A and B are shown apart, each in its own frame.
Chain A
Amino acid sequence: MKQPMELQRFEIRFSGLGGQGIITLGKVMGAGLALGHGYNVTQTQSYGPEARGGSSRCDLVVSSGRISFPKAESLDLLVALSQEACNAYYPYLKPGGVLVIESDIVKQPPTNHYLGLPFTQLAKDKVGIVQAMNTVVLGALTHLLPFTVQRVMRKSMEETLPAKIRAVNVKAFNLGHREAKKHFGESPEVWGVAPEE
């Protein structure tokens, strides 16, 4: 499909604990942006012995043009699903970048400019399984990012995931999208607008 808007190196970092589905989230979103929306995307991840149980990280660089350096260095969007990750990566957020947190887990956000939802609780209460938390985040981000289209992202997600968990993830995706619309309001104007204006 045609790219919804022109992008110059938009950098996203997903971070949290091993087991929260951070890498899957990055993979699904990366595939959605690359194959569904037609952007150039590079996805890199923390790769090491600490990946199990410890901290986990997954970076996406999204651009309309060619991406030279594949890693994220100054973030436009930081998704922190643990306090530790939030503390560690907040300094890499660029001025005007947006912080999204899991508001039940990240008790001490480093700034008052953040968007938070209790993603884990939402998944547990409304989807029924806590493992769908990452897809709730994906749904919320699809609402938040000005260059993602709900229909396209949902379709790529369905193509990437195995058949038996498809239905539950669609439910989680829609839930995330709905909750974000309700609590975050319309897609923030910060992207593309200088912070001091």
Chain B
Amino acid sequence: MARRKKKQEIFALGNEAVVEGALIAGCTFYGGYPITPSSEIMEIMASRLPAHEDGVFVQMEDEIASMGAVIGASLAGRKAMTATSGPGFSLMQEHLGYACMAEAPCVLVNVMRGGPSTGLPTSPAQGDVLQARWGTHGDHPIIVLSAADVQECLEMTIKAFNMAEKYRTPVILLIDEITAHTREKIELPNPGDYEIHSRVVPSMPPEWYKPYEETVRGVPPMPPIGSGYRFHVTGLTHDRNGYPTSRPDEVDELMQRMHRKIDQFFYDIQLTEETTCDDADVVVVAYGSVARSAEFAVQQARESGVKAGLLKLQTLFPYPRRAMEKLLAHARTLVVPEMNMGQISREVKRVNMGRASVRTINRVDGQIITPSEILKVIMQG
């Protein structure tokens, strides 16, 4: 048997790991505008992409245009991404909705900093969680992922690209300043270690092609512009041919399909990680860098005899309700620490339906929630 090649190790920032992940996933386009604490992603992309065979890097005039460029690149057949932080994320909302409607696969990394407005540019927060889900107007489906450590930044970026391509949807990856600016040792995967998905392109002759046709998966095939398949792209509600319509039956079909394509693949999309949850009385539900504090707190609680567990959310939306419902069979208390005034805790309470008691820990002073703060609440039961 051939010996497996030893994996290359690097000592990298969370932001660097995002870039590594994107390049492994096949990203060949980056359009963006720098903003702290996400700037390193753009900086490294600017040096790495032009060295790539057909990589394109564009610094746009602002975040609105950045997202526009990303959608354009995506329609032209590229795997495209951008990265930003709070204020830039607000500007990107308009085109984010366009990407949902045009079903243009793309990845948007939001490194969360303190808000609202320009807020705390150099401090961590988790205030954009509900904005990521509901920031753009209209009843749109979207996938929101998060990453807690540097290795996970790499893995979740690959998964974000895979989901975007599989389901023809924008995917938002939320990380926070702490994860983005922590250096850790990570392993770079060998080629073939990860499954890489690319969008399905049409196989029928161009004259038979209908750009938004109903399919079993709910995801129509997508040709790159210029490959002979003609289609019309619009932000207006459109029919199967891509032309604007307001006929209720056609509108309903489109909206139902767009939601169905995300909802029906919950088992593929809703990712969580459990630590000592099997017999836990107290379960901490956390995501992002706070999940690392929670892991430390849970470990300390176990050492002092409290049956504690951690449910780390890697997918935030669609909310992984099944993973949580399973734990509600034995959990008496749920602890939800967040660096905001309580955004995911709303989802937790919704799924909980009064079964366990929900304790929230909220911190909005630009500092990380420490393990001891979480441990204190765990010990109170």
Which chain A residues have a beta carbon within 8 Å of chain B's beta carbons? 27, 30-31, 34-35, 40-45, 47-49, 67-71, 73
Contacts and interface: CB of A to CB of B under 8 A. Distances in A.
A46 B37 CA distance: 13
13 contacts: A27-B11, A35-B11, A41-B183, A41-B184, A41-B185, A42-B182, A43-B182, A43-B184, A44-B182, A47-B122, A47-B181, A70-B178, A70-B289
A49 B371 CA distance: 27
Interface stretch (B154-162, B226-234, B292-300): B292-300
Nearest to B289: A70
Nearest to A44: B182
Given A41-B184, A42-B184, A49 B296 contact: no
A69 B9 contact: no
B183 A43 contact: yes
A69 B185 contact: no
A44 B292 CA distance: 14
Nearest to B366: A48
Contacts of A48: 122-123
A41 B368 CA distance: 19
Interface in B110-145: 121-123
A69 B184 contact: no
A68 B295 contact: yes
Given A35-B11, A47-B122, A49-B122, A69 B293 contact: yes
B103 interface: no
A34 B184 contact: yes
A40 B185 contact: yes
Contacts of B296: 68-69
Interface string B151-179: 00000000000000000000000000110
Contact of B371 (A40, A43, A44, A69): A69
Nearest to B184: A42
A34 B185 contact: yes
B177 A34 contact: no
Contacts of A41: 11, 183-185
A104 B183 CA distance: 31
Nearest to A40: B185
B245 interface: no
B292 A68 contact: yes
Contacts of B264: none
Nearest to B295: A68
Could you say which of A34, A43, A70, A73 has the most chain B C-beta atoms within 10 Å of its C-beta? A70
Contacts of A35: 9-11, 185
Contacts of A68: 292-293, 295-296, 299, 371
Nearest to A34: B185
Contacts of B178: 44, 70-71
B181 A44 contact: yes
